[in-house]
Structure 1
Amino acid sequence: MHIIIARGHIDLAKRDPNKTARNRRGKEITSELAKLWPQVSIDSGYDNQLSFNALIGGKAATFIDLKEKVIKSADEYISEYLSGFKKARERDGWTAGGTPFSATTLKSNFDTLTKTKATKQYFLLFLQRSFLRHYDELVRNRPSVADSEIWIGQNNSDYGILITPRFNATGEWENDKSEIRHFPKLYWTIGHLLTTGLVVQGDPDPITFASIDDYLSFFTKVLVRPSGSKYEREIAALYCSYVKSQEKPEDVPLLIPELRYRGKEKKHKYRLDFCVIDPVTLEKVGFELSPWSTHGHIASTAKKSQKEINAEALRNFEKEAGKLRDYFRKYRITTLIFTDEQLADTGKIFDEISTYLEGSTEATQLEFSLIEEFL
């Protein structure tokens, strides 16, 4: 615990014991590496420690899928690194990120790193320290490339939510995939959107929001209102009140409106009324408001036979069921359906939605402080 003195009073600021323990162990490893270096320098033939470190650390992204792989321990990190190193050595002319690596060069590097007991020890300690230094990024669940962008809205009024948006040379928005794991905010939250804004294909200027209130106003007036559904407007209003009442409104998951099934394709097939993505587990749940008047009603029944009415009712049912199956198959979205009986009280519906808005705010942490205490 450290002391902060400001304006005549003393504030005891809490520290994360796990982070403190990780930092302490990282410093210990740095000290151990310094002690090993003189012998490692002799054994490896390297005069410069930074160059030797680069021989190890510079290949981490080559040997490990750091964009998507979730790694929970130093042992797992080392295992992934060594596995990737082995595969690379076995494939002559192997290429990663546009950089070719010959099997001969990689074998020579491996021989250098494992030449003696000292070089092996240094090699493994360096990888342990790398894991500790990048711990928060490595243990964090990250969206797959396919799940790292969301497109919402109706035809000719569609917007994209990306994690690390950049406007490419072809005039389209895309994610900078190498930076997704470094994104500083919780994924798919109010804070996420305030950081990235919304994007429109073909337009290099994102739509940004100066405050939470600015975004919530845009959410209700531009994103939700065009649907024409009074139920969606009521849910949206309750969501805005919920966000404003929270101690950390930036950490509240987005209530994503009009999620497009075909993403950024111009012609869409379906839209899901609302969706919430847990910022840590990345689990998705959808909410479909299905009043009979728009989802099941059959017009002009007096002019139709019972058989025709039944056939039309079946088509309506199959269409709705097919939509939800398709969202699950493509996006793994489990959808809750609210019909007229529930829609009579949108407050109760929002109470149910709000349980998913509580979300998860912290990634699973290894208890470094307890491990340290035990040892």
Structure 2
Amino acid sequence: MKIMVLVAGLLSIAAQSLPYRHVALRQQTADSVTVVASWTAQNADSVRLAYGNGITRTRGPRGRDSVRVARPNSAANFGLTLTPLRGSVAGAARVLSVALPVRPQPAPSIDSASVDTATTAPVVPPPPPTAFTPNLPAGMRLVGDSDFDSPNVPGIEIINWDRNTVQSPTTHGVALMTVDGRSVVRAWFPEQHAGNGVGPMTITTGEMNSRSHYMAVRLRYSANYQFHTNTEKLLYPVLVAPGAGAPLLNVGRDGELAGFNAPMNGPVAPLVTALSPAGVIPIGRWFHVEYYTRLNSPGQSDGEQRVWVDGRLVLDRRNVSFVVHGAQVLFLRGRLDFTRGGGASGVLTPLGGQWVDVDRLAFYSGN
């Protein structure tokens, strides 16, 4: 009997589970809203997501997924079932639900003997470029803008991969704090760490589905910051086409911008090479980066990419083929990422760790 109890206890410990699961709303418009699910599974190699609108997807044991849902005309909930899987064996399913915002109703009409006119809201043009977005191209649409006074920002999501919010020299982590009299989001790295393709934070948008992307960010690396010898991520948007890669711009050991020298999914494997002079990304002081990329047409090398640092153009690429695809590839999301290297670095982080502060960030999309 004791052996049977022990075996049952071990099976219980090894059962697939979902200790963390969450559902939220993002990128709300008058007609639709994006439902975003995030999860972490234990003892599972995948998670099945069954959305209330009939869509079913299978994803990894830890991640995020989203689906666009039409806003209802009356109050309604939207359900999602997450099931952890280990091979074909399913663990306990978890059901989540979120209240959908009601679709705005049209304004009442004005009736008279001679007039029947519908009242509509005035069209508000997008704001002109400001000192924070001096090189914003015309025709771009604002997706999200935050100075991090609050973690809840429409259009922007802060991902704290380790979920540590108390700064420590021995951990990765993320926290909102006040620095130099301003609100910032700080991401920190532990001391004597080799990188190994690990980082504390990603800041991303909801779905943009646009050919062009502009991003402006004000940030500061700590004065003791050591860039990874294999480069580390900074500007890292996501494309719609699976396997298409990303028109990323990493930071090299000497503060240079580095990126792919050929299409990431082309017939020849691309290399991450220096694309700018050394030192364009400084450490120990606040600086301002603007990033603009327009993806190439199918089968053409007509893409373009530009970066400004403190208003100075430091990268200007024209006639670029970012991706090889038979149809027009779009940006799925804008993304700022802090991950050190794709492997171990020969230069460890300093004693006490290092950090980067982000003071403001804005994402735009366009055609």
Q: TM-score range by the shorter chain?
A: under 0.3
Greater relative CO, 1 or 2 (CA 8 Å, sep 6+): 2
- Which structure has the larger Rg? 1
Greater helix fraction, Structure 1 or Structure 2:
1
TM-score (norm 2): 0.21
